[in-house]
Structure 1
Amino acid sequence: MQQFAVVAAGFGAGVLTSTVGVASLLSFPVLLALGLPPVVANVSNTIGLIAGSLSGSFGYRRELMVRPRLAWFVVITCTSGAVVGAVLLLCLPSGVFEAAVPWLIVLACLTVGVQPWLGRWLRRNDEPGGRRTALSPGTIVFAALTGVYGGYFGAGAGVMMMAVLSLGLDLDLRVVNALKTLALLVANVVAGLIFALVADVDFAVAGLLATGALIGGYAGAHLGRRLPPTLLRILIITAGLTTAVTML
């Protein structure tokens, strides 16, 4: 039953990875409930969820091909950030970001909520008649910082990345969701490789989690593609606020 619970948590986390981006909200507490120490649960969770973001990115391949150069920028930016985040997790006390992270997630949720109005205001004041389809220096910096957080812990990192990309780019929300899923894949892969080499990982748990996440990530991509943008935005905000309240 414990093994089934981990696989089921992996499936649900995979769906959340490809839709609202708060996979760890589901899977991490399950691993803690099974008795894993927090750091072991965190690194095992990171490695297990690689499969979900991988299948989710494959499911979003059409959206990613809309802006392939932008996708590569996201990969490079989040890779550099995730390396820093993984190193911080291994070097710093576990409570360093404890107080700030819930409020960062709340800020990200508010940004996602007001993005349509902010986007129109930015276009009207900065680029009249144009569409922002390239990462600005500010967007790159905040995307890299989100990558740092994704490598460090990651709960709510998807919501943060959605907020950064939605505010910095004038793209369809489904394309932004695909880029967010790719960013989570990069953060999990980079951090997972580092953890596998130097951290204490429960590979049995990570494998069970990956089994469910592989299916859930692909299913979530198809679900996320069909959700109306307004409903998707509401779900992202709800999931992010739930994460923040839970962490508080």
Structure 2
Amino acid sequence: MNVWEALAVLAAGIGAGGINAVVGSGTLFTFPVLLALGFPPITATISNSIGLAPGSFTGAVGYREELRGQGKRLLRFGAMSCVGAITGGTLLLTLPPGVFELVVPVLIGLACVLILIQPRLALWLRRRRPARPDGGPLLPFGVYGAGVYGGYFAAAQGIVLMSMLGTALDEDMQRLNALKNALTSIVNATAAVFYIVFAEPSWPVVGLIAVGSVIGGYTGARLGRKLKPFALRGLIVAVGLTAAVQLVMERF
């Protein structure tokens, strides 16, 4: 990489770290840049996953106040996120390229629909049963699925998680966003370790994205904590729909 290419990767890392802390889909900042610079898709995905892990951690730290009192949830769902990330990383290294990407736009679209209808759906569910602070027996399996998705491709895993958490848990949006950031941090860190051991990343790319994502992650967390629930939900849907359209267009 020359200087301008390195600056482009760094800037993409800053943008990805910021949007991951607020919403998710930061991979859609970095992944296209790496492809445009000529990196193979698998190498780009692996390097991107490792580089974004530190930014996910700073984003979670930025929401530490909203994480208070959610320790049991974090332990319960964090274990499923970790196992899911290992599963997703295994799929990336063993399945033919492009297999999972066929269903990625559909998953993102469904997640956006869930975000939009989440208040009404949650109200309907609570009329049929008491609110559950743990989300019920099926939520851990959904978190595992989001971990598989995040370990494989990572884009919009935050949107998928927010749609599930917001529907299943009786909780404030900002506290849900804090839990989402912590779980995506676990997924990204697990995937990063997995890829460091079993794959061959581009270390210059990893370093640039890591520095950028740390800066963006902390800044994005400070901004995201100031958003009202309606604005946060709207931003999640906007980013999710943009992600789905971008992924569909890349196949044509």
TM-score range with shorter-chain normalisation? over 0.9
In 1, Cα distance between equivalents of 2:108 and 2:198: 29
Deviation for aligned residue 1:75: 1.2
Aligned to 1:43: 46
Given candidates 20, 32, 35, the residue that maps to 2:35 is 32
Aligned to 1:198: 198
Moved more, 95-104 or 226-235: 95-104
Q: Which runs of 5+ in 1 are unaligned?
A: none
Aligned to 2:151: 151
Q: C-alpha offsets along residues 15-63 of structure 1, whole Å, 9 cap, x if unaligned? A: 0111111100111111111111111100000000011101001111111
In 2, Cα distance between equivalents of 1:135 and 1:189: 24
Aligned to 1:119: 122
Aligned to 1:82: 85
Q: Are 1:232 and 2:235 counterparts? A: no
In 2, Cα distance between equivalents of 1:72 and 1:179: 11
In 2, Cα distance between equivalents of 1:66 and 1:114: 27
Moved more, 107-116 or 91-100: 91-100
Aligned to 1:184: 184
In 1, Cα distance between equivalents of 2:43 and 2:63: 30
% identical equivalent positions: 44
Deviation for aligned residue 1:98: 2.1
Corresponding residue pairs, total: 245
Q: Are 1:15 and 2:18 counterparts? A: yes
In 2, Cα distance between equivalents of 1:200 and 1:57: 27
Q: Report if the CA contact (8 A) 1:74-1:179 is conserved.
A: no
Q: Are 1:247 and 2:226 counterparts? A: no
Aligned residue identity for 1:119: A
- Alpha-carbon RMSD: 0.9
In 1, Cα distance between equivalents of 2:64 and 2:77: 15
Moved more, 13-22 or 69-78: 69-78
Deviation for aligned residue 1:191: 1.0
In 2, Cα distance between equivalents of 1:209 and 1:170: 35
In 1, Cα distance between equivalents of 2:232 and 2:48: 25
Q: How does 1:217-228 map to 2 (within 5 A)?
A: 217-228=217-228
In 2, Cα distance between equivalents of 1:204 and 1:72: 33
In 1, Cα distance between equivalents of 2:77 and 2:24: 16
Q: Which runs of 5+ in 2 are unaligned?
A: none
TM-score, reference length from structure 2: 0.95
